[in-house]
Amino acid sequence: MNEKKKRRILVVDDDPSLLETLVDVLGEIGYEVDGVSGPEDAIRRCEESGYDIIILDIRMPGMNGVELSKRISELRSDARIIMMSAYGMDERIAEAMRRGALAFLQKPFDIKEVTELIDTVEKRTILIVDDDTVFSQTMKDLFEEKGCVVDTAAEGSEAIELARRRRYDLILLDMKLPKANGLEVYLSLKEIAPYPAVIMMTAYDECEELAKEAVKRNAYTYLKKPFDIDELLSIAHEIFRQQREGGVVKPS
């Protein structure tokens, strides 16, 4: 059995049909899976056992998914939590994502979506925001070769929607975008996703002051295009190292 398939998973949902389906299918794939139908049972299981991944519904009787995810994180700080809901993205899910949930699944979903998320939880996640699709694809290929999971967005609203649904470790954000500049997009992203390190990018002298302003407001750094790929990789490596050790400190 592949090592990645030995992860222990807890599924929490008061829908007995979906609960049984997820437990059975993920078990057949090779994961070690337990299922419970309520928050109190989930808390008890987490007190008794360590789970690598917890998949939980946002709407349950007695305690909503945000409160449950908070309780679980207090018990197991290393738990990776995936939220799911049939009601779409709402403020409760956004709050769970801000608190560190890894991703959001919209019901009904294909089981492949679940397994793809599970298989990528150990990988670094990167979001590239740039309307230059050739540049974005080049960066995507580069980081995927390094084993990262990479998404791309061509404008700010698309980036914001992606950040609502997945937790990113690193965001590469261009300053010149359609409809909104990079600083505006950065500030919107930080409201919903305070944890990723953000590297601002620009090819234009007139955008450098905005990039510097983003750095003043806690962006990690900014790079002037065209930049040295080795420099970018070195910065990303340092960010990931610091994240593994508990916190990112910006360069002075």
Model pLDDT for residues 37-64, shown as the tens digit of each residue: 999 999 999 998 888 899 999 888 888 8
For residue 89, the model assigns a pLDDT of 65
Mean pLDDT for all residues in the chain: 90
Residues 156 and 129 sit within 8 Å (Cβ to Cβ): yes
Claim to verify: residue 147 and residue 225 sit in the same structural domain: yes
User: What proportion of the chain, given as a percentage, has pLDDT over 70?
Assistant: 97
Q: Looking at the predicted structure, is the pLDDT value of residue 72 above 80?
A: yes
Domain boundary among 85, 119, 153: 119
Residue type, 146: K
CB count in 10 Å sphere of residue 221: 16
Indicate the pLDDT class of residue 1, thresholds 50, 70 and 90: very low
Mark which of 99, 119, 139 sits at the end of a domain. 119
Residue 250 falls within a domain, yes or no? no
Residue 252 covered by a domain: no
- CATH number of 33's domain: 3.40.50.2300
State the residue range of the domain holding 194. 125-244
Reported as a single tens digit per residue, the pLDDT across 189-200 is 998 888 889 999
Provide the domain count of the chain.
2
In 113-129, which positions are buried (b, 16+ CB within 10 angstroms) versus exposed (e)? ebeebbebbeebbbbbb
CA distances from 21 to 12, 25, 35, 51, 174 (A): 12, 6, 10, 19, 42
Q: Are residues 155 and 91 in the same domain?
A: no
Q: Which segments within 69-121 are labelled E, that is strand? A: 80-85, 103-106
Cis previous bond, 108, omega within 30: yes
Last residue of a domain, which of 119, 149, 184? 119
Residue 12 has pLDDT above 80, yes or no: yes
| Residue in this structure with the two tokens 């197991």, named with its chain if needed | 76
Residues 34 and 10 in one domain: yes
Q: What is the pTM of this model?
A: 0.75
Q: Which of 7-21, 81-95, 115-129 bottoms out in mean pLDDT, i.e. has the lowest? A: 81-95
Do residues 85 and 137 share a domain? Answer: no
Per-residue pLDDT at 212: 95
**Domain identity same for 146 and 238:** yes
Domain assignment of residue 131, yes or no: yes
Q: Provide the pLDDT for residue 57.
A: 92
pLDDT at position 151 over 90? yes
Query: CA 124 → CA 45, 89, 162, 166, 225, distances in Å?
Result: 28, 24, 15, 12, 24
Q: Give the pLDDT mean for 211-232.
A: 96
**Token pair listed for 119:** 């298989």
50 is a domain residue: yes
| pLDDT above 80 for 114 | yes
Q: Tell whether 249 is covered by a domain.
A: no
When pLDDT is cut at 50, 70 and 90, the band that residue 25 belongs to is very high
The pLDDT value recorded for residue 135 is 98
Same domain, yes or no: 69 and 140: no
Q: Do 173 and 217 belong together in one domain?
A: yes
User: 242 pLDDT exceeds 80?
Assistant: yes
Task: Give the whole-angstrom CA distance, residue 45 versus residue 33.
Answer: 12
The whole-number pLDDT of residue 157 equals 96
